[in-house]
Structure 1
Amino acid sequence: MSAAGDRLQDTARRAALALPGTDHGYPFTQHLDVYKVAGKVFLIVTEDPDEQIITVKCEPEHARALVHRHASITPGRYLDKRHWISLGPGPGITERLVTDAVEDSYDLVAERPPRRTRPET
């Protein structure tokens, strides 16, 4: 079953907040809910009712495969198009896919900061 836009965003928020050391806020604009770990962005939830997407970090090869496989996954908005993807509601966009994308993004970002600033797992 595909996730509708608001469900897609709620799933992403729940997945992000369940991860250790996550904080969020609106550092850029009131329409972008930004989730960070160790001060680094790993999820952006667009709060525009006409554009219900999330944007996550992704390994470039995996990102290309997801974009090719799903019409509602595009190269990331606002960020580096090789390392970020945006997911919108559509066929094949399941809650499991959204949760996996958020968790993978978190892992990519959390492994990069110096050990002293990484969250304990």
Structure 2
Amino acid sequence: MSAAGDRLQDTARKAALALPDVSHSRPFTPQLDVYKVAGKVFLIVTDDPDEQIITVKCEPEHARAHMHAHASITPGRYLDKRHWITLGPGTGITKRLITDAVEDSYDLVAAQLPRRDRPRPR
């Protein structure tokens, strides 16, 4: 079953907040929730009712595969199009896919941190 926009966003928020050492803020606009690990962004959730999307970091080869498999996954909105993808509601966008995308993004960002700044293993 596919996730509608509000469920997509809620699923992403819950997945992010379940991870260790995550902070949340709205530094850019009241309609953008930004989730970080050790000060580095790994998830952006858009609250605009006309554009219910999330954006996550993704390995380039996985990004291409996701975009090929799902019409509602596109290159990252307003970010590096090679390393970020945007997920919108649509066919095949499930809670599991959303949760996996958020967790994978977190892991990618955490792995790039200096050892002293990395969160404890989950």
The amino acid across from 1:30 in the alignment is: P
Superposition deviation, residue 120 in structure 1? 1.1
Matches within 5 A, 1:34-49: 34-49=34-49
Cα distance in 2, alignment partners of residues 109 and 24 from structure 1:
15
For 1:49 and 1:101, locate their aligned partners in 2 and report how far apart those are by CA, in whole Å.
Answer: 22
One-letter amino acid of the structure 2 residue matched with residue 78 of structure 1: Y
In 2: Cα distance, 1:110 partner to 1:104 partner: 10
Asked if residue 105 in structure 1 is aligned to residue 97 in structure 2, the reply is no
Structure 1 position 113, deviation (Å) = 0.9
Runs of 4+ in structure 1 displaced over 3 angstroms?
Answer: none
Determine if the alignment matches structure 1 residue 95 to structure 2 residue 62: no
Cα separation, 2, equivalents of 1:21 and 1:5: 26
Equivalent position SS for 1:77: coil
Show the counterpart of 2:14: 14
Residue number in structure 1 paired with 2:52 = 52
1:45 counterpart SS class: strand
Give 3-state SS (helix, strand or coil) of 1:44's partner: strand
TM-score, structure 1 normalization: 0.99
Aligned residue identity for 1:17: L
- Give the AA of the match of 1:79: L
Q: Deviations over 1:29-78 (max 9, x none)?
A: 11110000010000000010000000000000000110011000000001
**Identity percentage over the alignment?**
82
What's the Cα RMSD here? 0.5
